[in-house]
Amino acid sequence: MGMLILNAGEIAHLDSSASNSAISGPDMLDRESNVAPSGLGILIENGKIKSVTDSQSLQSEYAPDWDGHESSSKFNIVDVNGCAIIPGLIDSHTHLIWAGDRSSEMRLRQSGMTYREISQIGGGIRRTVSSTRLMTTENMITTGMSRINEASKYGTCAMEVKSGYGLNTDTELKLLEAASFLSKNSEVSIYPTWLGAHDFPHEIDRSQYIDDILTEQLPKVAEQGIAKWCDVFCEDGWYSNEETESIVSHAKEFGLDSRLHVDEFVDSDGLALAAELGSVSADHVAKSNPNSRQKASDAGTMQTFLPGTPYVLGHSLDLPFSECIENDWAFSLATDFNPNCRILSLPLVANICCTRMGLDPLAALIASTINPATTLGDQNISGRIVEGESANLNIVWSTDIDGWCQTPGENPFSHNIISGNIV
């Protein structure tokens, strides 16, 4: 059965750029080019958008005898009564699968300890690794599916999912295996990333672990054939630029592209390195310098900001959104869901950006849809509402598309539709 959506308010189609091209600069603020006025409807057939046109015309042609109920002989009919519609959201940076509890670390941060200092006393990533290694593959799948279902309630239709809480070959492979199962059994599209270089395990020294990554873990990850990308936590105190380059270069030989953690706490020219390595995305980038941002833009490396992390860590909220727009540097937003940042709602992340850093809601939407879509390499996930493309969209509580990120304590969506199905 197809779907007929009638009487829409504003529709954020985001069709101002060529297919698979990010929207950047002043275009991120251009409502006329990216938002259609109220009065349209959407016809969906076989999971794709067949038509976006005048609502009355669609009803007259496809449901002339519609009596106000939500189904007819051929269509599931959704009367949105003037509510706005936006594309399905795309979360391009998540640490979805892990076990354990790090709630006690808030007290440590409030006492003045840094993220690195907490790690050095056995907290942080390493603490989560200890718990995650005890999980069975079935535990991982159950945990991941629960979190995916929660994210879908908040409008997410696609998620990048990292390993990284194993720090040994067996557990990293299990995490990717679980991600693969989730990809095949979830309405939400899942894109796995291998993050074996997330931290260093307790049981072996730094140089030995890097050698293990290159000679054992990476070849087996490649042989497994699940991961689309490799990732490295390129940050002072974790993996150096030289170590990152070595790991990424080896991964390329095995057919893996890269998306990297860089410049979260300090500027180490990690973003410039990501650009040089041809990474599809460089994430965090909170402290990156303008020259590195220009290099990333020139290289086509997406800057992905993760504002939920400084928010929960109590750090300053001063990400350079205005500077990016002024300089025509494309950027994305993602949740960075992890044991410290337990946020699965992109609307909440966008709310933080809009209310605390002055980001325009339309720009935040673009950064949560079409821009991250360009990093996934999947034609079925476009981040747009365009005829001929997959029907991934969300119906907003408001007549105005800006309402998508203005209810931080409530779900802003009445309907979440993925591939033409209400989820």
Write phi, then psi, for 208 (nearest 5 degrees): -65, -40
Give the pLDDT mean for 239-263.
98
Please tell me the predicted confidence (pLDDT) of residue 72: 58
Provide the pLDDT for residue 73.
Answer: 60
DSSP conformation class of 243: H
CATH 2.60.40.10 fits 89-373, yes or no: no
Q: What is the pLDDT of residue 70?
A: 61
Rounded to an integer, the average pLDDT of 2-6 is 95
Numbered ranges of CATH 3.20.20.140 in the chain: 89-373
Residue with tokens 């907490």: 118
Per-residue 3-state assignment (H helix, E strand, C coil) for 50-106: EEEEEHHHHHHHHCCCCCCCCECCCEEEEECCCCCEEECEEECCECCCCCCCCCCHH
- What local confidence, expressed as pLDDT, does residue 345 receive? 98
pLDDT in tens, 112-169: 888 888 877 877 888 999 999 999 999 999 999 999 999 999 999 999 999 999 999 9
Q: What are the structure tokens assigned to 145, written together? A: 């599916």
Which of the pair, 76 or 168, is modelled with greater confidence?
Answer: 168
* 274 band by pLDDT with thresholds 50, 70 and 90: very high
- Residue 195 near residue 221 (C-beta atoms within 8 A): no
Predicted confidence at residue 417, as pLDDT, reads 98
257-262 and 281-284 strand pairing: parallel
d(CA 191, CA 182) in angstroms, rounded, equals 10
The helix (H) or strand (E) run that includes residue 194 is: strand 189-197
Mean per-residue pLDDT, 33-51: 97
Specify the pTM.
0.96
Query: Is residue 263 over pLDDT 90?
Result: yes
- All CATH 2.30.40.10 domain ranges of the chain, comma separated, are 2-88+382-422
Q: Average of pLDDT values for 207-230?
A: 98
For residue 320, pLDDT over 90 is answered with: yes
Mean pLDDT of the chain: 95
Position of tokens 């297919």?
Answer: 19
Contact residues for 76 (Cβ-Cβ < 8 A; gap 6+): 1, 2, 3, 4, 70, 422
pLDDT score recorded for residue 102: 87
Our measurement of the distance from residue 381's CA atom to the centroid of its chain's CA atoms, rounded to an integer in Å, reads: 12
Statement: residue 398 has pLDDT above 80: yes
Percent of the chain whose pLDDT exceeds 90? 88
Domain 2-88+382-422 class in CATH: mainly beta
